[in-house]
């Protein structure tokens, strides 16, 4: 069942979202050549806990990290490891969930470390843009399919592919709530959007083909063809006056 949040619940979600946004800004500021993804994960956990939150991902379904940290052709769900070393030129996807006063903010960014390729820069830009195209379609009275169609249209116009095996979702007291929010769809199809709905819209975009596979660790998702991938996510709320981002460092 789709949950419509009350003003009080949305206040808590904005608080959780602010911490989520701030931890991503912090992660970007400390990324460097030679850092392991486990070191980055430990710093992210310490930041979240220092601000009174809990890492939503830690232990979720058995996930061992506080953040999903995925490099280059890794799409999502990368497990932090002391053996996974970040290098100049890498694309680093950092996906973070923060639970604060019982409510969750969920957000992800793709960062370039040092000097990255022009292809990588364009991929990051297209992925970010596709999120905002999807958000523009997230208005009361529209449907879930309108969001996915807007995302995919921007991605395919750039010559890239959207991952279809993993999707966005509702979020609130639980990390994954109804409805699913695919990054593709047919306009006018799917669940209708109403004020108070809180959604995590999260385009996952590949330079090459859309197909992905899961590594033997049971978590890390990579592109089948080895092409670069980017990820961009925010938690939003649908209001009578249009969508608003909840994972915003200026919120609260």
The DSSP secondary structure of 42-74, one letter per residue, reads HHHHHHHHHTT-EETTTTGGG--SSEEEEETTE
Over 90: is that where the pLDDT of 28 sits?
yes
100 falls within a domain = yes
250 falls within a domain = no
Helix (H) or strand (E) run with residue 94 in it: strand 91-100
> How does pLDDT run across 129-155, given as a tens digit for each residue?
999 999 999 999 999 999 999 999 999
**Six-digit token string for 40:** 């980055």
Q: Considering the chain, what is the average pLDDT of its residues?
A: 97
Helix (H) or strand (E) run with residue 97 in it: strand 91-100
- Cβ partners under 8 Å of residue 184, min gap 6: 148, 149, 151, 152, 162, 164
Total domains in the chain come to 1
97 falls within a domain = yes
Question: Strands (DSSP E) along 113-166, which ranges?
Answer: 161-162
What CATH number should be reported for the domain holding residue 88? 3.90.230.10
State the burial class of residue 153 (Cβ atoms within 10 Å of its Cβ: 0-12, 13-18, 19+).
middle
Task: Identify the band that residue 251 occupies on the pLDDT scale cut at 50, 70 and 90.
Answer: low
pLDDT value of position 250: 65
Task: Identify the band that residue 249 occupies on the pLDDT scale cut at 50, 70 and 90.
Answer: confident
> How does pLDDT run across 176-224, given as a tens digit for each residue?
999 999 999 999 999 999 999 999 999 999 999 999 999 999 999 999 9
252 falls within a domain = no
140 falls within a domain = yes
171 falls within a domain = yes
**Span 223-235, average pLDDT:** 98
154 falls within a domain = yes
pLDDT value of position 252: 41
Over 60: is that where the pLDDT of 13 sits?
yes
pLDDT value of position 163: 98
Alpha carbons within 13 A on the beta-carbon side of 153? 14
196 falls within a domain = yes
Domain containing residue 80: 7-245
Over 90: is that where the pLDDT of 99 sits?
yes
């Amino acid at each position: 069942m789709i949950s419509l949040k009350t003003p009080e619940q949305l206040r808590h979600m904005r608080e959780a979202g602010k911490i989520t946004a701030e931890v991503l800004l912090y992660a970007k500021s400390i990324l460097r050549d030679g850092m392991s993804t486990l070191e980055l994960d430990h710093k992210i956990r310490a930041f979240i806990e220092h601000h009174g939150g809990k890492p939503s991902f830690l232990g979720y379904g058995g996930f061992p990290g506080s953040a999903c940290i995925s490099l280059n052709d890794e799409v999502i769900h990368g497990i932090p490891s002391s053996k996974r070393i970040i290098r100049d030129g890498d694309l680093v996807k950092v996906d973070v969930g923060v639970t604060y006063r019982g409510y969750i903010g969920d957000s992800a960014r793709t960062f370039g470390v040092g000097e990255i390729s022009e292809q990588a820069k364009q991929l990051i830009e297209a992925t970010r843009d596709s999120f905002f195209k999807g958000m523009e379609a997230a208005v009361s009275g529209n449907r879930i399919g309108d969001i996915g169609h807007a995302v995919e249209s921007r991605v395919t116009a750039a010559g890239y592919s959207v991952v279809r095996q993993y999707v966005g979702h509702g979020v609130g007291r639980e990390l994954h709530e109804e409805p699913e929010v695919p990054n593709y769809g047919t306009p006018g199809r799917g669940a209708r959007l109403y004020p108070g709905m809180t959604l995590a819209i999260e385009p996952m975009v590949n330079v090459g083909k859309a197909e992905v596979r899961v590594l033997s660790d049971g978590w890390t998702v990579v592109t089948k063809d080895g092409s670069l991938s980017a990820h961009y996510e925010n938690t939003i709320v649908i209001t009578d006056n249009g969508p608003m981002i909840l994972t915003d460092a200026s919120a609260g």
